[in-house]
Amino acid sequence: MTNIIETATNSGCFKTLLTVIEAAGLLELLQGSGHYTVLAPTDEAFAKIPANTIASWMEDIPKLKQILAYHIIFGDVRTDNFLELTSAETVEGSPIAIDTLNGIKINDSKIIKADIITDNGVIHIIDTVLIPGLLKS
């Protein structure tokens, strides 16, 4: 098996995510031995965001790191776990809302592929980039 970063790289649909993870200095965390759950926006999810917005995030590394940490949950959280939860705390510190009435939604994002198991956690592919509440304004 491979770690979260290797698995994301091999999938080919996370080029933007991997670029911003590296820029934010989070590669080591997601290659390490800890167990993490990554809510991974696809390249198509990032394409919904204006290019100048992503460029501004790349110039503000603390903000970029905050946004990306909002996509990571401590531990190995799989579909069965989501079905028992209404929220979960992220590495960023803010909770995400979990809705399982019609598939699994995280805030306004839908999980389009779940439970991609890696050596150090699990990846769930989502269709929208998550923005912590404090940064939405």
Q: Tell me the per-residue pLDDT of 10-66, one tens digit each, with 9 for 90 and over.
A: 999 999 999 999 999 999 999 999 899 999 999 999 999 999 999 999 999 999 999
**Tokens standing for residue 63:** 């903000």
Dump pLDDT digits (tens) for 64-112.
999 999 999 999 999 999 999 999 999 999 999 999 999 999 999 999 9
The reported pLDDT for the residue numbered 34 is 87
* pLDDT over threshold 60, residue 136: no
The reported pLDDT for the residue numbered 137 is 46
